[in-house]
């Protein structure tokens, strides 16, 4: 009778945990990039990055 070799599960858990973390971080970065460069108007981006157009 063959006995299956017992492997520790912590390695598999850590691998999937960090893989999920990397996928989540990548999707969050893609979402932020989409919102900033597609949905936000260019005037708002310029004012945010370079300061207001009319400083009073």
Per-residue pLDDT of the chain (56 residues; tens, 9 = 90+): 555 565 666 678 888 999 999 999 999 999 998 888 888 788 777 777 776 666 55
Predicted structure pTM score: 0.54
Query: What is the C-alpha to C-alpha distance for residues 35 and 18, in angstroms, rounded to an integer?
Result: 26
So what's the pLDDT on residue 47? 73
Query: What is the C-alpha to C-alpha distance for residues 47 and 56, in angstroms, rounded to an integer?
Result: 14
The residues, any chain, with a CB within 8 Å of residue 49's CB and separated by 6 or more, are: none
Query: What is the C-alpha to C-alpha distance for residues 46 and 36, in angstroms, rounded to an integer?
Result: 11
So what's the pLDDT on residue 41? 82
Token pair, residue 8, equals 């520790």
So what's the pLDDT on residue 52? 63
């Amino acid at each position: 009778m063959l006995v299956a070799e017992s492997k520790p599960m912590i390695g598999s858990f850590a691998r999937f945990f960090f893989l999920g973390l990397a996928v989540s971080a990548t999707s969050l970065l893609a979402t932020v990039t989409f919102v900033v460069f597609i949905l936000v108007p260019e005037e708002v981006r310029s004012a945010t990055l370079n300061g207001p157009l009319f400083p009073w």
